Amino acid sequence: MPTIALSRPLPGEFHVADADVRIGPERGFASPAELHEFVAGAEAVVTWVSERVDDAFLDAAGAQLKVVSNFAVGYDNIDVDACRRRGIVVTNTPDAVTEGTADMAWALLLAAARRVAEADPFVRSGAWAEHGILGPTEFIGRPLAGSTLLIVGAGRIGYATALRSIGWGMRVLYVARGRKPQFEFAPLNAQRVDLDAGMAEADFISVHVPLTNETRHLIDERRLALVKPTAVLVSTARGPVIDEAALAAALQKGDLFAAGLDVFEDEPRVHPALVGLRNAVMTPHCGSANIRSREMMTELCAANISAVFAGRPPVTPVH
Ligand code: 8YV
């Protein structure tokens, strides 16, 4: 029987017929060496975004490895070329994460615009009781209705995030390498712009590009200088797409109103300058952490592995 190594326990039903399933610890392995030892001899592995799948991983797993099934839509943790060279199939979990991540983009956007992360400790700590009833100009946030939303990266999650803006009657701009009909037709009627123009025009900016050599520090000091001082920037993509130090400096100077981040350059560490900022709302890379998304991710990983074991094309291969 083939062995499947899940680097962590997964929520929901992971079912692959006639296979032994080996399950790693809830928090993952403390070091790559321990992970490498765990995957040795497996025909399939299910990996987490923080786990690097490179030549050292593949050597440790062994020549019998057929498929790397990443428990994520993003696969910047995987050396896809190294897998291809060895004839190993790589799969990811598109669609499954879409709704959960788009919800998180909105959770951050609303929290940042309406200063929720600042307001909560104000109430909880007793500071409100001490301060007294708020005056009419305190805890003022940014209005959403009728504002302009820029979607950077017009894939599935970008689209689902844009669709949610309809409730606020927002105008949608998008940045993509080519035109995206689904963005330009109803109900979004969005307009494609280049990134610099979009950054300058938007009231809300939501980042959804994958991490590649081209998107590393796509949002850097120069681009942050283009945004309106009233703008809100959120990212549920990958930390290194934004230059975190430059973002912290811009937030500190008031070059933008607020930011909401679910992803960071050196997870689980956060740039120290961000930690003290009251206009930064932060969550611990948990965009897809809603139960339906996570259960679908599990099922998709199992379906991809089952297909490869049966000699069929995987459901969601990474090319
Ligand atoms: C993570 C993600 O997989 O899908 C992605 O690319 O980043 C998330 O869904 C999840 O948070 C586990 O790390």
In tens, the pLDDT along 32-90 reads: 999 999 999 999 999 999 999 999 999 999 999 999 999 999 999 999 999 999 999 99
Say if 86 falls within a structural domain: yes
Say if 38 falls within a structural domain: yes
Q: What is the mean pLDDT of residues 17-25?
A: 97
Q: Could you tell me the residue range of the domain that residue 304 belongs to?
A: 3-92+291-309
Residue nearest to ligand 1 atom 6, measured at CA: 74
In this structure, are 222 and 123 located in the same domain?
Answer: yes
What pLDDT does 319 receive? 87
Q: How confident is the model at residue 301 (pLDDT cuts 50, 70, 90)?
A: very high
Say if 109 falls within a structural domain: yes
Q: What is the mean pLDDT of residues 203-221?
A: 98
- Percent of all residues in the chain with a pLDDT value above 90, rounded to a whole number: 100
260 C-alpha to ligand 1 centroid (Å)? 17
In this structure, are 104 and 84 located in the same domain?
Answer: no
Q: Which of 47, 51, 73 to mutate to test the pocket of ligand 1 (most atoms within 8 A of CB)?
A: 73
In this structure, are 81 and 215 located in the same domain?
Answer: no
Which 8-state DSSP code applies to residue 310?
Answer: T
**pLDDT tens, residue by residue, 97-107:** 999 999 999 99
Has 208 been annotated as catalytic? no
| Owner of token pair 């081209």 | 214
In this structure, are 211 and 249 located in the same domain?
Answer: yes
- Residue (of 289, 260, 285, 235) closest to 96 by Cα position: 289
Q: Which of 69, 78, 97, 293 to mutate to test the pocket of ligand 1 (most atoms within 8 A of CB)?
A: 97
Q: Which of 34, 37, 138, 267 is catalytic?
A: 267
Output the average pLDDT for the chain.
98
Which 8-state DSSP code applies to residue 193?
Answer: -
Q: What is the mean pLDDT of residues 89-100?
A: 97
The token pair that represents 130 in the structure block: 């001490």
Q: How confident is the model at residue 291 (pLDDT cuts 50, 70, 90)?
A: very high
Count structural domains, the chain.
Answer: 2
92 C-alpha to ligand 1 centroid (Å)? 10
pTM reported for the whole predicted model: 0.96
Q: Which amino acid is at 74?
A: G
Peptide bond into 268 cis (omega under 30): yes
Say if 314 falls within a structural domain: no
**pLDDT tens, residue by residue, 237-282:** 999 999 999 999 999 999 999 999 999 999 999 999 999 999 999 9
CA 101 to chain centre: 7
35: CATH: 3.40.50.720
238 C-alpha to ligand 1 centroid (Å)? 9
Residue nearest to ligand 1 atom 4, measured at CA: 72
| Owner of token pair 């910047």 | 76
In this structure, are 132 and 215 located in the same domain?
Answer: yes
Which 8-state DSSP code applies to residue 211?
Answer: P
In this structure, are 66 and 147 located in the same domain?
Answer: no
Has 13 been annotated as catalytic? no
Per-residue three-class SS string for 13-41: CCCCCCCEEEECCCCCCCCHHHHHHHHCC
